[in-house]
Amino acid sequence: MTAGEKLEIRPIAGALGAEIHGVDLARAPDAELVATIRRALLDHLVIFFRDQNLAPAQFLAFARAFGRPVEYPFVRGLPDFPEIIEVKKLEHETVNFGGIWHSDTTYLEIPPMGSMLLAREVPLVGGDTLFANMYQAYETLSPGLRAMLAPLRAVNGSAKADVTRTREDRVTSNPGEARKSYEAAHPVVRTHPETGRQALYVNVAHTLRFEGMTEAESAPLLDFLFAHQVKPEFTCRFRWAVGSIAFWDNRCAQHNPINDYHGHRRVMHRITLAGDKPR
C-alpha cells in the first residue's frame, strides 16, 4: 500500500461479504496489502472490489499474490492466458454457466481454494450473484445432527454438474476434458485449514450421495442440507458493474449466479486458485 491509499472494508450483509475500497489492483500489491486482503477474505468469506479495469495480465498478477492459478477442467482458457476462462452468456441464450448453488469443482480430489471473477460486460439489470456462508449453515444445525454428520463423507461427481456446462459450446470447448468424468469423496463437515472453523461441505450441483450409501438412501438428508445451507439469513447478494471483482473462499462459501437477464449479454473473466485436500 502507498501512503496515499486508505483502504476501507465495508460489510454488505450480516452473514458474509464485504466490499474493499481505496485500492488500485492494477499495481502489484505489497506484502501488507496482500495480508490485509487475505484477512478480509477469511473474515468475510467473499470480498468485492469496484472499478478495477484490469488487463488479463494484471488480473493474473493480482491472483498470483494469493495462490497458484489453475486451469479449469472443462473450459479452455484465453489463448494467451490459459488460467483465465471466459464465463459468457450471449443475447440469444437462455441458460447460464454454473446457474445453481455450488462450491466449485468438489468432484476433484483437490478442489480449489477460491475463485476470482472480473466483470467485463454486464446487463443493465440482473445477473447478480448470491453467496452463502457454510460456517453458519453448519453451526446452526442441532448438536445431534452435527454429531451424525461428523464421520460422514460425501461422493461428488462431475456427471451431476452438467447443469454447470450449459452454453452450447461448453462441452466441446476443451474436447479432451469433456469426455472425462470426475468423482471424489470429501468430508461432509470440512475444517478450514486457515481458520480452523468447520463448514458444511456438500452442494446440490455436485454431491451425489454419502459414501457407503446409495443415492436413494442419501437423498432425504442431503435434500434437507441443500435447502438448509442456502437459507436467506446465510446469504448475501452482489450487483455487478463493469470492473467489479469478486474473490470467494471455496472452502466455506457457496455461490449461485442468478439467470434473470435473457436477451442481454454478460461476460466475465474467471481465475481459479489451487487448494488443498479437504479434511
Residues taking part in catalysis: 102, 104, 255, 270
Prediction pTM value:
0.92
What pLDDT is attached to residue 96? 82
Helix (H) or strand (E) holding 189: strand 189-191
**Among 4, 37, 8, 40, CA closest to 22:** 8
- State the Cα–Cα distance between residues 20 and 246, nearest whole angstrom: 10
pLDDT score recorded for residue 63: 97
CA distance 36 to 29: 10
**For position 265, what pLDDT does the model report?**
94
pLDDT at 5: 61
pLDDT score recorded for residue 6: 85
Picking from 16, 206, 198, the residue whose alpha carbon sits closest to that of residue 108 is 206
**pLDDT one digit per residue (tens) for the chain, 279 residues:** 444 468 999 999 999 999 999 999 999 899 999 999 999 999 999 999 999 999 999 999 999 999 999 988 878 899 999 999 999 998 889 888 788 999 999 999 999 999 999 999 999 999 999 999 999 999 999 999 999 999 999 999 998 755 444 433 343 355 455 557 899 999 999 999 999 999 999 999 999 999 999 999 999 999 999 999 999 999 999 999 999 999 999 999 999 999 999 999 999 999 999 999 999
Which residues, other chains included, contact 6 with Cβ-Cβ below 8 Å and sequence gap of 6+? 22
Tell me what pLDDT residue 3 has: 40
Beta bridge partners of 238: 129
Other CB atoms within a 10 A radius of the CB of residue 275 amount to 21
CATH architecture, range 8-273: 4-Layer Sandwich (3.60)
